[in-house]
Amino acid sequence: MTVKYIEDQIYSRVKSTYTQTTQLEALMKIINAAQIISKGRCGGTYYIVDQTEGITGSYSTLMGGINAARYSTGTTIDYDDNHHSTVVVLPGDYSAEGRIAFSGKNIHIICLGQPGTDTGVTIRPVAPSTFAFGGSGTGIELANMCIVVDTAIQALYWEQMDGNCWFHDLLIMGDGTLATTGIQTGGIKTSVIENCRISGFVTSGITVAGGADMYFYDGKIIGNQIGAKSTCATAIYVAGAGTLVAQNALIAHNYVIGDNFTKTIDVDNTAADVLVADNWGYAAGEGGTERDNHYT
């Protein structure tokens, strides 16, 4: 399917005047668009978030749709390894909900719009105390959301990216003065941060930092574009408060743009277990096993 097809389905909004037949047709087109953005990985039970509630049974808020997926089997959170739920979010500004925080398992949150390039689904919480979007859980996918912050917080925080978490095609913007970190997690295991556009943070674009033993196992930070509006310490920072426990970890093909960074990539591990390869930036990197990086 072409990009034009996706645009047609996303931006021709679902209206409340649909008959049952046309509602079903619209729903199938929305699911098809979500499958394209998710590269076919989403599935299971689908929940639609639409501020206009154009489709019968849709949810008008992000948390409404996420909670439906979390409690899909009853009154307790669904932690079934074999059950996946997909929350498809139609374009809209969901900032009025404030901070989005939850825990769960095997939930795919797919926001519709041109992947990683637009503000089709936006959250911009007013003065949240910690992060704008975040929580804990395994098997979480977040795709194509725009997160904007203008206070001294992280935009996206996940306690541990574990069990095939996948954060991709995100547009994350800080104010360049107060906002601290674009994406922060306490560790990465069999998970990926990929193809995100991040700018305007003063501490780092991406931080992986945990407690006494912080894990970076079978994970990737790959293909991200990171910029800064003012001085920023590090584009990508990987560090354990004690020991960084790394194995088969990859940081590659990231593009750090501008000369506002003190370091392009900083990894607190000089062993061969973290491969830092084919990254581009002005400032030098440090740590990991470096191969074919381009620092000027």
* pLDDT tens per residue across span 58-99: 899 999 999 999 887 767 777 777 788 999 999 999 999 999
Among candidates 199, 161, 164, 166, which has minimal Cα distance to 182? 199
What is the Cα–Cα distance from 281 to 274, expressed in whole angstroms?
A: 18
Give the HSE-up count for residue 201: Cα atoms under 13 Å, Cβ half-sphere. 31
> Can you tell me the distance from the alpha carbon of 129 to that of 149, in angstroms, rounded to the nearest whole number?
11
Q: Does residue 295 register a pLDDT over 90?
A: no
Q: What is the pLDDT of residues 34-58, one digit of tens each?
A: 888 898 888 888 999 998 877 778 8
Confidence of residue 17 (pLDDT cuts 50, 70, 90): very low
Q: Is residue 123 over pLDDT 90?
A: yes
* Region 263-279 average pLDDT: 83
